[in-house]
Structure 1
Amino acid sequence: MSTLTPAGHAEPEQRTPILNTVDRVCELCFGLFMALTFVGAVKAVTAGVDEGYKMFFAALGCNLAWGLADAVMYLVRTLADRGQRLKLAQTVKREQDQAAAVRALRDALPEKLEPLVEDADLERIRARLATAATLPPRANLGRDDFVGALGIFLLVVLGTFPVALPFLVIKDVTTALIASRVLTLAILFVAGCALGRYTGAGAMKAGFAMIALGVLLTMAIIALGG
């Protein structure tokens, strides 16, 4: 669909992203941290010929497994949340006591939002649900949900490469490890900036905060033998 501007020109409707900025940043950072941790663990027990290749493929295999698990759990969470909302809507629609229906809606509000919502607002929602023609019999997953799960899988797997790729292109493992950590911190800074802009916390502040988190994690890995 498209909308008309005041000048009468059609503009394409902007599609809402399936994964928001927080989802994308968190999944990418999860992939980075998983790969960084796994590379540190593998380095502690691996030495000799093809050490770099072993570390790269071990980290890639780790993130493939965790990416798949995270994608599946995203679908589980989505279906569970959708089912809970549908159950609430069906309860309100069937409830003959208007006051009880409003209480059910209020009980479902987040704690911090609850004082800001008046009963009159909830009554309007109750009335719309009561007059709704039909509600789905059960919660289902749609195409966008599977696209979102695929996006999560790819973000976690892609998080492997900045950490593990230097071990394929740099023969000296110590140098490759330094390059890996520098790349990781650079990407964490960019991810933190994106998160800061999204939340209004300040791009640079959030970027450096994310770097600090990465440095703390790297120090922990070194202390554990990474």
Structure 2
Amino acid sequence: MSNASNASHARQDESEKREPVLNTVDRVTELCFGLFMALTFVGAVKAVSTGEDLGRKMFFSALGCNLAWGLADAVMFLVRTLADRGQRLTLALTVKRERDPAAAVRSLRDALPRALEPLVDDAELELIRVRLAAVPTLPPRAHLVRNDLLGALGIFLLVVVSTFPVALPFLVVRDHVTALVISRVLTLAMLFGAGYALGRYTGAGALRAGLAMTVLGVVLTAAIIALGG
């Protein structure tokens, strides 16, 4: 097989192994966040607004709210990503520069999540230390990459798009009571779908997670109604 063919297969394998920009948990949680934001904001606007243009007010108020929160959430995603990456880089640099192997292993152990500490022994951490020590160079500081920006954009779009099933009925249905019922049914259906996907991904039981997320939506809707929404 030619070198060009080998390189092509290598790139294909790398592409297949590449993780998505946002994993299932990120996508589901951001979608639910947008749904809850829009749901609560629609209830708040309904409680304080009247008039023939109530539907338009509710739609554009909810959209504006989610635009703002989507932007804030996207920026915080970048901040969190950069902070996490910086923490990992600092650990790697500390281990690489540490001349005392035992001290380097202790640094690695201190960085382990508490639940993993009993599962990883010092011999395994020593192998990691040796590999880090053998790395020729490490970047001096953490930085964002293209996929981070795509992830932030994805979060922004998920939060904003989730506005529409909650607020769109008020724009297309003249009767506000009917629009409210349609809005809440669509919201609960989307919450069930989000919970189903999350349960399937985590192994917690797709149907159970879908129903749990729906119950959460019902409780939140009841709270909104009780508060005048």
Unmatched runs of 5 consecutive residues or more in structure 1: 4-9
Matched, 1:192 2:195: yes
Matched, 1:109 2:106: no
Q: Which amino acid in structure 1 is aligned with residue 51 of structure 2? A: G
Q: Which residue of the partner structure matches residue 5 of structure 2?
A: none
As a proportion of its length, which structure holds more helix? 2
Contact 1:102 1:122 in 2 (8 A): yes
Matched, 1:100 2:110: no
Give the C-alpha shift of residue 49 in structure 1.
1.9
Matched, 1:68 2:85: no
Matched, 1:204 2:197: no
Counterpart CA distance in 1 for 2:126 and 2:9 is 33
Counterpart CA distance in 2 for 1:163 and 1:13 is 36
Match of 1:143 among 142, 146, 149: 146
Contact 1:2 1:12 in 2 (8 A): no
Counterpart CA distance in 1 for 2:93 and 2:181 is 56
Unmatched runs of 5 consecutive residues or more in structure 2: 1-7
Match of 1:134 among 127, 133, 137: 137
Q: Which amino acid in structure 1 is aligned with residue 189 of structure 2? A: A
Matches within 5 A, 1:1-226: 2=9, 13-226=16-229
- Per-residue CA distance 1:105-151 (angstroms, 9 max, x = gap): 00000000010001011000000111110000000000000000000
The aligned length equals 221
Q: Which amino acid in structure 1 is aligned with residue 169 of structure 2? A: P
Counterpart CA distance in 2 for 1:2 and 1:144 is 23
Give the C-alpha shift of residue 18 in structure 1.
1.1
Counterpart CA distance in 1 for 2:81 and 2:177 is 42
Q: Which amino acid in structure 1 is aligned with residue 114 of structure 2? A: E
Give the C-alpha shift of residue 210 in structure 1.
0.5
- Per-residue CA distance 1:47-82 (angstroms, 9 max, x = gap): 102110010000000000000000000000000000
Question: What is the RMSD of the two structures over their aligned residues, measured on CA atoms?
Answer: 1.5
Structure 1 SS opposite 2:19: coil
Structure 2 SS opposite 1:151: helix
- Per-residue CA distance 1:155-203 (angstroms, 9 max, x = gap): 0001100100000110001110010000000000010100010010111
Contact 1:195 1:206 in 2 (8 A): yes
Give the C-alpha shift of residue 15 in structure 1.
3.2
Q: Which amino acid in structure 2 is aligned with residue 185 of structure 1? A: L
Q: Which amino acid in structure 2 is aligned with residue 22 of structure 1? A: V
Structure 1 SS opposite 2:223: helix
Superposition misfits of 4+ residues, deviation over 6 angstroms? none
Q: Which residue of the partner structure matches residue 7 of structure 1?
A: none
Counterpart CA distance in 2 for 1:57 and 1:32 is 15
Q: Which amino acid in structure 2 is aligned with residue 94 of structure 1? A: R
Contact 1:2 1:13 in 2 (8 A): no
Counterpart CA distance in 2 for 1:122 and 1:108 is 11
Counterpart CA distance in 2 for 1:2 and 1:140 is 29
Q: Which amino acid in structure 2 is aligned with residue 216 of structure 1? A: V
- Distance change (3 Å), C-alpha of 1:14 and 1:100: closer
State percent identity of aligned pairs: 76
